[in-house]
Amino acid sequence: MAAGLGNPVGYVPVFDGGNPGIISGRASVNLSGGMLVFASGAAGAVSSGLNSFVTSDVAFAVASGNAFTGVVTQSAASGTSVAVATKGKVILVADGTVTCGATVICIGANAVQDGTTAGVVIGRAVTSAASGGFAIIDLW
């Protein structure tokens, strides 16, 4: 298994065509840039209108399996605001084989690997990597 908390240099977007979709929220735990996260929190925290939406309505925690929303763009302490990229091309750590062109799944907060499980696929590998190496992943 890949050690650490994602790419040691943090969130690294690549290519002009990989402009990320960014959403904001609050870190529910300490998060490092480049970590994979998911939106968690109480049901019904977001109302039907922008007139009452605030950043703290969406809380982000460490990703796991099919609980994935995106990649943290910068480090954030628990309880502070954080931005999360939900699409685009980013450099992520491989935990197991990552094959160019294959779909990838989230393996916890720090890595991806080849996989096809419905509801768990988070994107497609643009480049290949051996376990512990780095690959460019196109997040969906």
Q: pLDDT over 90 for what percent of the chain? A: 45
3-state SS track over 52-119: CCCHHHCEEEECECCECCEEECCCECCCCEEEEECCEEEEEEECCCECCCCEEEEECCCEEEECCCCC
- Asked if residue 65 lies in contact with residue 120, where contact means CB atoms within 8 angstroms, the answer is yes
Residues 72-128 have pLDDT tens digits of 999 999 999 999 999 888 899 999 899 999 999 998 777 899 998 877 899 999 999
User: How far is residue 55's CA from residue 17's CA, in Å, rounded to a whole number?
Assistant: 27
List, in sequence order, every residue forming a beta bridge with 124; answer none if it has no partner.
103, 138
pTM of the predicted structure, to 2 decimals = 0.81
Q: If we measure between CA atoms, which residue out of 99, 95, 123 comes closest to residue 21?
A: 123
Domain residue extents for the chain: 18-85, 88-139
